[in-house]
Amino acid sequence: MKKKCMDRLIGKYCKIVTREPDEERAHVVFGFVTDIDHAAGLLIIESSEGVGCLSIKTIEAIKPNNNKT
């Protein structure tokens, strides 16, 4: 995904689907995208579980979501 497109997601509540290369099932995370580190390839999110980071390479889908559950 291009930098310009991903930067639009900063500050928005999103549904993020990730899958590690060696796993069969995908993981879904809901949270606010707080920052994107393009150099390191990390997406920093704040969810109900706390602050965390996801590798951009493992992300399969991102969808902005209006429901803050």
Q: What is the CATH number of the domain that holds 28?
A: 2.30.30.520
Helix then strand then coil, % of the chain, to nearest 5 = 10, 50, 40
Q: Which domain holds residue 48?
A: 3-64
Task: Judge whether 69 lies within some domain.
Answer: no
Token reading at 40: 């390191």
- Residues of the chain short of pLDDT 50, as ranges, are none
Q: Which residues pair with 28 in a beta bridge?
A: 17
Total domains present in the chain = 1
Dist. CA 57–CA 69, nearest whole Å: 26
Helices (DSSP H) in 1-65: which residue ranges? Answer: 3-7
Q: What percent of the chain has pLDDT over 70?
A: 91
pLDDT at 6: 83
Which is it for strands 27-37 and 42-47: parallel, antiparallel or unpaired?
antiparallel
Q: Which residues pair with 13 in a beta bridge?
A: 32
